[in-house]
């Protein structure tokens, strides 16, 4: 049937483009996936906008209201790092809906990939690092609340630690957080994940993949998850402006194949979000993000999902 993906049309032009957070990449990624036959149009799903009550599974109601109504104070807006607009509000609520939809599709089909998501720096009461609401954390809580999954593993391979996600689930053993990131990168104050692997600046493909290969099987054994949520940030790439690691395109593709094949071989469904990526060359950035969907499409066929 083909890999199911989730696409968010409301992402397009919601935020003025700049090199830190280039919004056209979402539409360009979608066009690339369809144009190159990586996914089929009939396997594309559009998410719903997350209601306040869903966001409140993680976030404080006052913060949700202040952000969505545009009354958040200037300091809090600066901490997020993105301009506010009504369009951005819709976009970020749909991002949460998209992560939830991706997880539901993964539970149904074994594997599903988002074309956005990975806002792992958003805390219950404030946003940070270009992240407003934590789509990963809300999704995990939503699945548990509605009885769709009891145990969830978050595999966060964005170059930046999934600090807010770790904080949110620090007292919830049913949600296991694993973050493998550059130790010298943002955020300066790390939180305690269930497992943190701090990598040195400049680590290249083979060392990175060896480290991941050593850790992932043990993490799966410890977490015993009903679902894996995979944050496949491409900012570990050597060409990323905010990364500090040195993975190649080939290294990223091998990483995606390694994570997905390890989970699928253990019969564990995987819901993927694209995470961070910061590059002035939009075509290069889109190509890096597409590696997740290329790997997912290939393994969807191999495992006959």
Over residues 163-175, the pLDDT tens digits come to: 999 999 999 999 9
Give the residue from 46, 72, 202 showing the smallest Cα distance to 126.
72
The CATH code of the domain that includes 279 is 3.40.800.20
The SS3 assignment for 152 reads strand
In this prediction, residue 10 carries a pLDDT of 62
Q: Give one DSSP letter per residue of 236-269, joined into a string.
A: TBTT-TT--SBB-HHHHHHHHHHHHHHHHHTT--
- pLDDT tens readout for residues 1-13: 899 999 987 655 4
Helices 86-109/61-68 angle, 10° precision: 120
Give the residue from 273, 287, 196 showing the smallest Cα distance to 237.
287
Does the pLDDT value for residue 21 go beyond 80? Answer: no
- pLDDT tens readout for residues 244-260: 999 999 999 999 999 99
Whether 68 contacts 46, CB under 8 Å = no
Confidence of residue 24 (pLDDT cuts 50, 70, 90): confident
The domain total for the chain is 1
Calculated CA dihedral for residues 115, 120, 124, 129, nearest 10 degrees: -100
Residue with tokens 């290249």: 204
The H-or-E segment that residue 177 falls in is strand 175-182
Does the pLDDT value for residue 43 go beyond 70? Answer: yes
Q: What is the mean pLDDT of the chain?
A: 94
In this prediction, residue 20 carries a pLDDT of 44
Does the pLDDT value for residue 23 go beyond 70? Answer: no
- pLDDT tens readout for residues 193-229: 999 999 999 999 999 999 999 999 999 999 999 999 9
How far is CA 282 from its chain centroid? 19
The H-or-E segment that residue 6 falls in is strand 5-6
Give the residue from 51, 112, 105, 152 showing the smallest Cα distance to 297.
112
Tokens of 143: 């699945």
Domain extent for 80: 5-302
Give the N- to C-terminal CA distance of the chain in Å, as an integer. 8
Tokens of 125: 């009461």
Q: In this predicted model, which residue has the larger pLDDT, 83 or 112?
A: 112
In this prediction, residue 155 carries a pLDDT of 98
DSSP label of 227 = E
What are phi and psi for residue 164, nearest 5 degrees?
A: -70, -40
């Amino acid at each position: 049937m083909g890999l199911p993906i989730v696409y968010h049309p409301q992402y397009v032009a919601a935020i003025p483009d700049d090199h830190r957070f280039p919004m056209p990449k979402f539409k360009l990624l979608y066009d690339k996936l369809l144009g190159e036959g990586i996914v089929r149009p009939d396997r594309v799903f559009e998410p719903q906008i997350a209601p306040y009550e869903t966001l409140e599974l993680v976030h404080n109601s006052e913060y949700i209201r202040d952000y969505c109504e545009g009354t958040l104070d200037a300091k809090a807006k600066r901490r997020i790092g993105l301009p506010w607009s009504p369009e951005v509000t819709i976009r970020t609520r749909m991002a949460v809906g998209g992560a939830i939809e991706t997880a539901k599709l993964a539970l149904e089909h074994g594997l599903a990939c988002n074309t956005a998501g990975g806002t792992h720096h958003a805390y219950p009461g404030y946003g940070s690092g270009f992240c407003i609401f934590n789509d990963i954390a809300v999704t995990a809580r939503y699945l548990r609340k509605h009885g769709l999954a009891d145990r969830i593993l978050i595999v966060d391979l964005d170059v930046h630690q999934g600090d807010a996600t770790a904080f949110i689930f620090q007292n919830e053993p049913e949600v296991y957080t694993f973050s493998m990131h550059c130790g010298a990168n943002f955020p300066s104050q790390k939180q305690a994940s269930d497992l943190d692997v701090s990598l040195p600046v400049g680590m290249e493909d083979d060392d990175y993949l060896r480290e991941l290969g050593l850790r992932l099987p043990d993490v799966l054994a410890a977490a015993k998850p009903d679902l894996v949520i995979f944050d496949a940030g491409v900012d570990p790439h050597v060409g990323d402006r905010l990364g500090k690691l040195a993975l190649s395109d080939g290294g990223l593709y091998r990483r995606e194949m390694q994570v997905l094949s390890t989970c699928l071989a253990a019969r564990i469904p995987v819901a993927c979000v694209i995470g961070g990526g910061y590059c002035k060359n939009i075509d290069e950035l889109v190509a890096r993000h597409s590696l997740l969907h290329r790997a997912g499409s290939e393994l969807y066929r191999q495992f006959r999902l």
